[in-house]
Amino acid sequence: MKAIRKAMLVLAFVMLLVPAFAKAGQSIVVYSSVDEVNAKKILDAFTAQTGIAVQFVHLSSGPAYARIKAESANPQADVWFGAPSENHIVAKNDKLTQPYKGPNFDKLGKEFKDPEGYWRSFYMNPMAFAVNKEVIARIGAPKPTSWADLLNPAYKGQIQMPSPQSSGTAYNIVASLVVLMGEDKAFDYMKKLAPNIQTYTSSGTAPSQAVQVGQCAIAIQFTPAFFEAIDKGFPIEVIFPKEGVWFEAPAISILKGARNLEAAQALVDWLSSVEGQKVYTELKTYFYPVIPGVPLGKGMPAFESLKTIDVDVLWAGEQKKRLVERWVNEVLSAK
């Protein structure tokens, strides 16, 4: 009898060590707008810690949203994982997602969650320039220190940035410039910048791949791939423009009609936990955590040390369609 009682106590203790979000034997389907390599790192860690199998399809934010909307009558995925939060605001407004708060909701700052629980951010990254030091030296151009510097004719055909038609990263650039300069001045600036743009990429992370191998002199996007390239020995330098930058705060939403709702909720809970947030540094994603006190990756400056632009994500979500259409009509046509 004593042996049985002792065994039950040991079992109870072990159960206390198992995360509340562990749901071994379940599965989940994810549409991921996080870059494919880092998405696999994070979701594999989730499976390892919870036992929930993950099938994910990588889609940039534009195609992901289009697919979710097209499938709304018969959802083929359970969650949308990644894409800046303003995209999730659009999805909420179009009634494509459902609310969920769970035990970790209150740990997040108000800037990282929908007050009703329709979406929450699970990491953040600032916008920046990456300069290939060898290419800059070869073309005899100075290193840019500001958004204004990018208009220098010395950079003609030497800058890559993503297109807001398909990339949430690019829309972050457009919206932040509108807030920084005012809408008309921002669009005038982007039209003047167009001759210096080598290409507008469909993927938000493609510019980093080009700049690290010297295909262009300057890339504009979020920082993770830049820090990773430096860690691998590529000759690039990360520059934060002195006027300031906005940052991405990619979010996760549970899709309306999700077939694996309990597993979807477990993923949301895990991503908002210390266990989930630590994975970013442990697996070298170079993402900034959204919960205070989680260690940063090597070479990453403290987020608080950067000059950031205060952009209302609700405004950004509401204005996205209009601003992207204006970009296509005025900026892309100028290119």
Q: Read off the pLDDT of residues 212-259 as tens digits, 9 standing for 90 and up.
A: 999 999 999 999 999 999 999 999 999 999 999 998 889 999 999 999
Q: Are 255 and 78 in contact (CB under 8 A)?
A: yes
Q: Read off the pLDDT of residues 189-203 as tens digits, 9 standing for 90 and up.
A: 999 999 999 999 998
SS3 221: strand
Find the length of the chain: 335
Q: Are 33 and 80 in contact (CB under 8 A)?
A: yes
Same-domain status, 12 and 85 = yes
**Six-digit token string for 300:** 């990453």
SS3 70: helix
The CATH code of the domain that includes 286 is 3.40.190.10
Within-domain flag for 302: no
Same-domain status, 150 and 65 = no
What integer best gives the mean pLDDT of the chain? Answer: 91
- Name the phi and psi angles at 181, rounded to 5: -110, -20
Beta-ladder partners of 128: 221
The domain containing residue 55 runs over which residues? 2-124+249-297
Q: What is the pTM of this model?
A: 0.77
Same-domain status, 228 and 322 = yes
Percent of the chain with pLDDT over 70: 93
Same-domain status, 169 and 314 = yes
Question: What integer is the mean pLDDT of 311-335?
Answer: 90
Same-domain status, 77 and 118 = yes
Within-domain flag for 199: yes
Same-domain status, 238 and 260 = no
DSSP state of 143: P
**Six-digit token string for 203:** 């993927």
Same-domain status, 70 and 216 = no
